[in-house]
Amino acid sequence: MTRREQQEYYDKGFTRDQVEEIKLGLEEGLDIEPYEDKGFFALQMREIRLGMMSDLPYEIYARKDFDWFQMEEIRLGLEAKLNVRLYAYPRVPFDTMRQLRLALADGINLSKYVSLPAGTLRELRKAIKSGVDLAPYIEDNYDEEQLEQIRICLEKKINIKPYIDPNLRGSSIEQIRLGLERGLNVRQYTGLDYEWRQMREIRRGMEHQVNISMYLNPLYDWQQMREIRLGLEDGLDVSRYSSLMYPATDMSVKRAYLAAGIVDDTPYELGETKAIAYNNFEIKITPDQMTAYFQLTGRRAGITRSVIRNALEERGIIKGIDENVINMILTDQAGNQPQIIAQGLKSEPGPDGYYEFFFRTEVNREPKVLEDGSLDYKDIEWFEQVKRGQKLAVYHPAEPGSVGYNIFGQEFPTIKGKEKNILTGKGFYVEQDNVTYIANVDGIVELNGSKLEVSNLLTLGEVTAYMGDTRFDGNIHVTGNIGNGCTIIAKDDLIVDGFVEGATLEAGGNIILRKGVNSQSKGHIKAGNNIEGSFFENVNVKAGGNIKVSYCLKSEVECGGVIELAGRKGSLIGGSTYAELMIKVNEVGNESGVKTFLRVGVSNEIIKRQIIISNQIKKINKELDTLNAAYEELEALYPADALAEMDMFKKIDNARYTKEENKKVLEEELAAVEAKIEEAKQAKVEMKGAVYEGVVVEVNGKRWKANERTVGVRVSDDENGVKVDRI
């Protein structure tokens, strides 16, 4: 388009952004007539143009009674080959269209609920997708924020219904949900008496096992509750500042004084801190009223025990008097140097709370290294089993410490030790004493910080194909062998004591193969975390974490961390082996020159993800440019009070915010991906033993080939190719 042609459009009343859309359409070779109308906003023109470029039936939405947000939702639905006629009506708000479109993409038709608010539709869509029934709560008129928390509870099989009603805000229901997830007695803070921040402070106090009755009163505001809770967590005597008459700011000051061992924040009236002179000596008290010094200022003549005692009593000093110092003064052993004649005692915290566990909190997960360097998984202890009803732990609360005092005899409050957080997790309950934890399922117990979990354990013997597929929501322990054609899928860990043949094994956690696997190129082994085994032969293995094995023969092995062929005879022969970070092996290949391929470094998948995220950010930036231009255009055309009532302006402003938030999420993900790429660039292959002809090593796409037998090689990345070092 020439400048003259552009000027002609300007003369007809088209804006700069509208002319830009016409120009872009002409450059793409499109018939711009359907949107060559100054009655369309530039953003509407853009949606029509994008539909034309994708050869979509744009006529469905190329109407002025659709705003551009609605146009976008219809266009995206057409691109996904969805039945957009279920929602392509001008009366349907764009955000409702979006939820209907996303539901259709998941195979869910929500068009009969088109009258519901978009947020409610969103939660209904997610609930149906996850297989939970949110309809009764929608019928009870819960709003979208409330429904989100209820949906999460339903998905986690948490019975929240007895504790909520439609008058509670979503943020309050969230606090109830969090309490139920942690096994707390939430009835202590449910109801309409507390707002959500008060609920949060009560919940946190319960989690930290402090005496919440000290502030379980809706007349406290949440900041006051916080100050009392923090004082309780520090073992302080909060009764000294927990009166409702004190605002939170005053409570904070008083809490700080108590934490410093000061009973009151007003100066103590007994005695003076300046030195008081007597006939031939003086007594000086430190400002903190914890220490008194005696110093001779003349001859000792006339100084007796009663004189010193009377002087101390006159100053109000009655506690912590050191008789040994008085004896030294009376026997001329003190000299003219100041002597500490009285010393106060600070309160010391009592013993901290602690848990007494009745199971092994650590088990030996390391295989035994045999004399030949190979790994023996026979006696590895992967888990600790417990029975339903078994006592798991008992909490011993913190105790008060010693009483402190100053030299005037004023006692300081005792300080309790710190309490431990409650144990959260699953598979157990807490008895009425609130300190005894009992398993309520048979299974595997594991402690990670303050998270205690007893997860289901399915134990199988010999597994053969005629038994059918096995899928289990927990851990699986196979005590026998696994034959050809078997499929075993565990949500958590999978441990196999026997040999594995051509089977399909999958686990969301770890897979441990005590005796190894020879699959004859049938089936596969896949774990979300680590895989360990005695040997791999003719098997396809993939782990999200690390892989450790004694030797590997003609297998396809891949992991997102480190592959280690452990032991002096840890050998890798044939096949293809890929690790994102490192491969550590002793012997690679064999004398017959079997082709053995090792690869480390940045994976194609992570590069693809980097490209996808970068493109998504570029797309959002372009959309933001368009939104910002439209925003500024409307600002220039209308006064602020008119804009405040304009739906189009509100939608553009909301869209800008949403796009910026989406951009932040993508930028964080991109930063994580790029950090992973940088880490992978440092990948290397260490081959400590013999490396035979036929071995090919690739590091970040750069290759090194063994043309003859060599011993001890490290291959890493270098600016000029691969770097090969002797080790």
Could you tell me the residue range of the domain that residue 630 belongs to?
605-680
411 within domain boundaries: no
User: Is 55 within the bounds of a domain?
Assistant: yes
Q: Is 609 exposed, middle or buried (0-12, 13-18, 19+ CB in 10 A)?
A: middle
Residue 289, phi-psi category: left (phi > 0), alpha (psi -120 to 50), beta (remainder): left
**Residue 476, CA atoms < 13 Å, CB-side half-sphere:** 26
Q: Indicate whether 617 belongs to any domain.
A: yes
Contact 624, 723 (CB under 8 A): no
Give the number of domains in the chain: 5
Query: What b/e sequence results for 653-676 when a residue is b if at least 16 CB atoms lie within 10 Å of its CB, and e otherwise?
Result: eebbeebeeebeebeeebeebeeb
Judgement on whether residues 615 and 666 belong to the same structural domain of the protein:
yes
423 falls within a domain: yes
Is pLDDT above 90 for 163? yes
Contact of 215 with 201, CB cutoff 8 Å: yes
303, 197: one domain: no
Six-digit token string for 193: 């008496």
pLDDT at residue number 403: 87
Beta carbons of 187 and 160 less than 8 angstroms apart: no
Quick: pLDDT tens for 685-718. 999 999 999 999 999 989 999 999 999 999 999 8
Mean pLDDT over all residues of the chain? 91
pLDDT value for 269: 45
The whole-angstrom separation of Cα 520 and Cα 499 is 13
For 717, the 3-state DSSP assignment is strand
Residue 316 has pLDDT above 70, yes or no: yes
Asked if residue 236 belongs to a domain, the reply is no
Note whether 61 and 100 are same-domain residues: yes
Q: Is residue 237 part of a domain?
A: no
Mapped onto helix, strand or coil, the DSSP state of residue 150 is: helix
Do 686 and 674 fall into the same domain?
Answer: no
Residues 31 and 82 in one domain: yes
Judge if 84 and 211 occupy the same domain: yes
Task: Report whether 48 contacts 64 (CB < 8 A).
Answer: no
Residue-wise pLDDT tens digits, 252-270: 999 988 887 666 554 444 4
Of 343, 376, 393, the residue at which a domain comes to its end is 343
Looking at residue 299, what is its pLDDT?
82
| Same-domain check for residues 58 and 87 | yes
Question: What's residue 561's pLDDT?
Answer: 94
Cβ proximity of 40 and 61 under 8 Å: no
Instruction: Identify the pLDDT of residue 523.
Output: 87
The structure's pTM equals 0.69
194 and 173 co-located in one domain: yes
pLDDT tens digits along 338-390:
999 999 998 888 999 999 999 998 877 676 766 666 666 666 666 788 999 99
- Provide the 10 A C-beta neighbour count for residue 17: 18
Do 400 and 385 share a structural domain?
yes
pLDDT at res. 727: 87
Residue 532: its H or E element: strand 531-537
Q: Please give the pLDDT value at position 603.
A: 85
3-state class of 348 per DSSP?
Answer: strand
Q: Which of 83-92, 183-192, 566-575, 583-592 has the lowest mean pLDDT?
A: 566-575
Angle formed by the axes of helices 16-27 and 3-11, to 10°?
140
Report the pLDDT averaged over residues 29-36: 94
| CA distance linking residue 409 with residue 29, whole number of Å | 95
- What is the CA 525 to chain-centroid distance, rounded? 28
Query: Would you say residue 268 lies in a domain?
Result: no
166 near 137, Cβ under 8 Å? no
Residue-wise pLDDT for 606-646, tens only, equals 889 999 999 999 999 988 998 898 888 888 888 888 888 88
pLDDT at 367: 67
434 and 463, same structural domain? no
Instruction: Report CA torsion sign: 68, 69, 72, 78.
Output: negative
| 665 and 717, same domain (yes or no) | no
Does residue 608 sit in helix, strand or coil? helix
Q: If you average pLDDT over residues 238-251, what whole number do you get?
A: 94
- The residues, any chain, with a CB within 8 Å of residue 480's CB and separated by 6 or more, are 460, 461, 462, 463, 497, 498
Percent of the chain scoring above 70 in pLDDT: 95
Angle at 446 between CA 443 and CA 449, to 5 degrees: 155
Strands 487-490 and 504-507: parallel
pLDDT at 383: 79
Residue 361 half-sphere exposure toward CB, CA atoms < 13 A:
12
194 within some domain: yes
If asked whether residues 610 and 586 sit together in one domain, one would say no
d(Cα 589, Cα 577) in Å, to the nearest integer?
12
- Three-state SS annotation for 253-270: HHHHHHHCCCCCCCCCCC
Q: CB within 8 A of 549, min separation 6: which ones? A: 375, 516, 531, 532, 533, 534, 535, 536, 564, 565, 566, 570
